[in-house]
Amino acid sequence: MQLGAVYTVDELLSLMIINSDNTAKNLLLSNIDLKLVYNVYSDLKIPVPDFTEPECEVSAKDYATFFRVLYSCTYLSEDLSAKAIRLLSETEFKDGIVAGVPDNITVAHKFAERKYGEMIIR
């Protein structure tokens, strides 16, 4: 991202999901009513993370809930669910869950990095 540049919501969503870009996430969060975000977490019975914390965590179980409702189209429309899954499948991070999966199989996933001291865990 470039300082002073203008981005569309779609561009920010792509950066946030595909590149795990926290700057894009923060721009999106600063320009929407957070009550809407809290309602999604509440509707899905997932604890609301503290978005002000740089190291907010989401459990594997909670991620599974997001993927379940996207796959079954039970929260968003079919088109929006498909768009979210497409973005999640465009992630270029090829380690972790994607490692060992044949190239001809599409994997929708979310990755993050966490820095502990000088070690980065993916």
45-83 confidence digits (pLDDT tens): 999 887 777 667 778 899 899 999 999 999 999 999 999
Tens digits of residue pLDDT in 80-112: 999 999 999 998 788 888 888 998 999 998 876
Task: Select from 13, 41, 42 the least CA-distant residue to 27.
Answer: 13
**Local structure of residue 42 (DSSP, 8 states):** H
Structural domain includes residue 50:
yes
Residue 3: inside a domain: no
Is 1 a domain residue? no
Is residue 77 in some structural domain?
A: yes
Structure tokens belonging to residue 89: 């499948």
In a domain, 96, yes or no: yes
- Total domains in the fold of the chain: 1
In a domain, 101, yes or no: yes
Q: Where are the beta strands (DSSP E) in the chain?
A: 114-116, 119-121
User: pLDDT value at position 59?
Assistant: 83
20: left (phi over 0), alpha (psi -120 to 50) or beta: left
pLDDT attached to residue 113: 66
The CATH number linked to 55 is: 3.40.710.10
Q: What is the DSSP letter of 96?
A: G
Domain containing 109 equals: 9-121
**Confidence band (pLDDT; 50, 70, 90) for 17?**
very high
In a domain, 72, yes or no: yes
